[in-house]
């Protein structure tokens, strides 16, 4: 059927009908708020490159947890910044470390707020890389297999503190299987894994490095994070992580990777998360401050586009603010 019999505008013109036939919804239930918790910090410290976001001290965390949950956001994703760093990221596996302590504070302040613990060593190592260093063919790099034990132990420590989910973001081969085995052996078989299965070596991470205080001291992370030119490889990574026991698949970044989100959703039909990363947010904030875009509608459009691409979970720094506007 073609024009004039077919008129697409019939269902666009009336606002009620337009709402009735909308294909994609956006709700607070889809949102996750990232949080940066800094050991030894009192109160909050604003992050210059990520407007509206802050590092939080444990003393200020309870009030922020109540605000997040009060807005309707169901979950947070924790990143810890320890006061002590070393070559193997020892603080990551300290049961009294910054993330386990933060989990306990959050659970006491907002018991029904789901707490997801990021599992990686980059914030904890003095070299800023995501694992234990070694050498391959004379090149200094991250030792994949030596890192797995450290990641598994980190995940168990977070689960023991009360984390509802762990999210390995390191991109080591085999880390999902190592973490799943360690959790099961420690009687945490009920704790799910949200795997950063398709995490790209992106240029959109700049502000995060400031927020998490985790820039690499040498080189970059292209030896373990994915090549931005590759798409089929993402499906192989996802398939491997699902085989090892991942429950949710995460794609990072999000805004420039809608094609990857859609391919993963169509191929595997599993829950998919998208991480709306710091550089994506910072660009919008800068353009809005310059008066070049209308901030609120652009934020909504970005989040809606990620839902349309196939993301079930949206990890975004705008989560709480956006939820407050939705429930106002």
**The two three-digit tokens of residue 49, written as one number:** 């490159």
DSSP per-residue string spanning 247-297: SEEEEES-GGGHHHHHHHHHHH-S-EEEEE-HHHHHHHHHHHHTTSS-HHH
Q: What is the spatial distance between Cα 319 and Cα 303, in angstroms, rounded to a whole number?
A: 10
Active-site annotation holder among 42, 85, 107, 199: 199
Q: Could you confirm whether 96 is annotated as catalytic?
A: no
Q: Could you confirm whether 199 is annotated as catalytic?
A: yes
Active-site annotation holder among 66, 85, 107, 252: 252
Q: What is the spatial distance between Cα 196 and Cα 184, in angstroms, rounded to a whole number?
A: 20
Query: What is the per-residue burial (b if ≥16 Cβ within 10 Å, else e) of 149-175?
Result: ebbbbbbbbbbbbebbbbbbbbbbbeb
Nearest to 257 by CA among 241, 240, 237: 237
**The two three-digit tokens of residue 15, written as one number:** 């606002």
Which distant-in-sequence residues (6+ apart) come within 8 Å of 62 by Cβ?
105, 106, 108, 109, 110
54-56/44-46 β-pairing: antiparallel
Check if the beta carbon of residue 80 is closer than 8 Å to that of residue 37: yes
Catalytic residues: 199, 252
């Amino acid at each position: 059927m073609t024009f004039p019999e077919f008129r697409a505008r019939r269902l666009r013109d009336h606002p009620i009908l337009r709402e009735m036939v909308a294909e994609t919804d956006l709700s607070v239930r889809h949102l996750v708020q990232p949080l940066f918790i800094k050991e030894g910090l009192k109160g909050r410290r604003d992050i210059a490159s990520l407007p509206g976001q802050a590092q939080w001290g444990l003393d200020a965390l309870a009030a922020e947890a109540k605000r997040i949950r009060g807005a309707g956001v169901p979950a947070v994703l924790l990143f810890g910044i320890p006061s002590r760093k070393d070559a193997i990221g020892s603080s990551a596996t300290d049961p009294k470390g910054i993330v386990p302590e933060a989990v306990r504070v959050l659970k006491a302040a907002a018991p029904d707020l789901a707490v997801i613990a990021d599992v990686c060593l980059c914030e904890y190592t003095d070299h800023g890389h995501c694992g234990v260093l070694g050498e391959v063919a004379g090149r200094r790099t991250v030792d994949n297999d030596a890192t797995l034990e450290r990641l598994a132990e980190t995940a168990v420590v977070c689960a023991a503190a009360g984390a509802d989910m762990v999210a390995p973001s390191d991109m080591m081969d085999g880390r999902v299987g190592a973490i799943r085995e360690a959790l099961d052996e420690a009687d945490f078989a009920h704790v799910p894994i949200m795997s950063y299965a398709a995490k790209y070596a992106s240029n959109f991470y700049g502000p995060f490095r400031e927020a998490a205080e985790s820039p690499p001291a040498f080189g970059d992370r292209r030896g373990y994070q994915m090549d931005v030119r590759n798409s089929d490889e993402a499906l192989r990574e996802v398939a491997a992580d699902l085989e090892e026991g991942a429950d949710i698949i995460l794609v990072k970044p999000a805004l420039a990777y809608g094609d990857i989100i859609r391919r993963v959703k169509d191929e595997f039909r599993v829950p998919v998360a998208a991480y709306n990363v710091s550089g994506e947010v910072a660009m919008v904030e800068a353009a809005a401050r310059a008066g070049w875009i209308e901030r609120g509608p652009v934020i909504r459009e970005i989040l809606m586009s990620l839902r349309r691409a196939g993301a079930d979970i949206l990890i975004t720094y705008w989560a709480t603010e956006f939820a407050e506007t939705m429930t106002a």
